[in-house]
Chains A and B, each alone.
Chain A
Amino acid sequence: MNFRLTQPAILIDINPLNELAGVNNGAGERLRVGALTRYRNLERDPATAQHLPLIAEALPHIAHPQIRNRGTIGGNLAHADPASEMPAIVLTLGGRLRAQSAKGERWIDAADFFVGALTTALEPDEMLMEVELPKAPPRSGACFMEMSRRRGDFAIIGVACTVRLDDHGRCAEARIGLCNAGDGPVFATQAARSLAGRAIGKNEIAEAAKLVQSEIDPGGSIHASKEFQRHLAGVLTMRALTKAGERARGSA
């Protein structure tokens, strides 16, 4: 709006809706984050630090403290910037989102929510109420890494991944998501699947990174060509998977 790119006729300030702010850490395996929760609240929330390590690791990369003091999770997800960290993370974690309108409410899976660049499955009369995310299970590790020109800038490429190990130390499930790698957040299905049932070793990781490179479709920008973004996606996938694997092995 400050660039006069949009000039809305009506603007609704939802900031006073306090009931939409905050993290609801129930006893179950899932945790709910209200749409009006600010980045800053998440940064300070012990439940987030404990159960959503991926988010905790990504938050410092999102803009600067003054922005994080105002920016909301709901605003971020509804805005669905393909370069933004949170959509990729919600997708990677397999979260779901609750939308509400005068007609009623519905839950939308992250995979269905992010439709494309700056577009979501929300109807014009719907509001995003909250997002529900699975807590990190035992014997799992997560890692978020991004490359940006300066800290706080939108990522040139960002990789979020989680690894859960089975009793033999092999990969039970891996999930890999990327930001700024397509016209929405990208879930690297094949790469993630390639790791299932295998050890998280150097070769396996390199293979997965290759698959990631083939699964993404980055747009290129003045800061990085498509080729460089693809290169970085490979590099960061390898680094993040290695780290997530280590963390999984280290966790009980």
Chain B
Amino acid sequence: MHPITVTVNGTKYERQVEDRLLLSDFLRHDLLLAGTHVGCEHGVCGACTVIFDGAPVRSCLMFAAQTDGHRIETVEGLAVDRDHLHPLQQAMRDCHGLQCGYCTPGILMTMKVFLEETPNPDEAQIREALSGNLCRCTGYQHIVEAVKLAAERMRK
């Protein structure tokens, strides 16, 4: 067991965690932040993507114990509430960028950082940035449109 102190979406949590507990399981089942999804547990699908010290990472490829003293953002921290969505969330809704919504949290966290770093992306850049997140429902087109729209709105 490891004692850890980790800040998730601005809230500080102190917990004892087993060495082998994956960060994804810790977030979902210990902190009950179940918005972070798990699709493969081997680093390929991207559904579990969270922002770790400002960078998007796969939470299924990290141990909870490694987050001691660090900062994590998850999908739960994006919007003020359901009626006040982050521009990226709003654009995803406006463009129908989600169907089952299972991949969506990972995509939002990846694209949030991408848009901060690339405020004026073209389609090729968006697709490249999206390529680490699998979506089986949408064929990606509406997601690409949503990211474009969000970028446009966020620039204003």
Contacts and interface: CB of A to CB of B under 8 A. Distances in A.
A and B touching (C-beta < 8 Å)? Answer: yes
Chain B interface helix/strand/loop/mixed: mixed
Nearest to B49: A66
Contact of A66 (B57, B63, B66): B57
Contacts of A40: 55
Given A15-B66, A152-B131, A66 B58 contact: yes
A115 to B, nearest CB: 26
B60 interface: yes
Interface in B52-68: 52, 55-58, 60-63, 65-66
Interface in B94-114: 110, 114
Interface string A1-24: 011000000010101000000000
Contact of B66 (A13, A69, A151): A13
A67 B43 contact: yes
B132 A66 contact: yes
A64 B46 contact: yes
- The range of chain A's interface size is 10 to 19
Chain A interface helix/strand/loop/mixed: loop
A64 B132 contact: yes
Nearest to B109: A66
Interface residues of B, number: 24
B110 A66 contact: yes
Given A65-B56, A69-B57, A3 B42 contact: yes
A224 B62 CA distance: 32
B131 A70 contact: no
B41 interface: yes
A147 interface: no
Contacts of B114: 65
B128 interface: yes
Given A64-B46, A66-B58, A70-B61, 6 more contacts: A2-B41, A64-B131, A66-B56, A69-B56, A70-B57, A152-B131
Nearest 10 A/B pairs, CB to CB: A64-B132, A69-B55, A66-B56, A2-B41, A2-B42, A70-B57, A66-B132, A69-B57, A66-B58, A66-B49
25 contacts: A2-B61, A3-B42, A11-B19, A13-B65, A15-B66, A64-B46, A64-B131, A65-B56, A65-B110, A65-B114, A65-B132, A66-B49, A66-B56, A66-B57, A66-B58, A67-B58, A67-B61, A69-B52, A69-B55, A69-B56, A69-B57, A70-B58, A70-B62, A150-B131, A152-B132
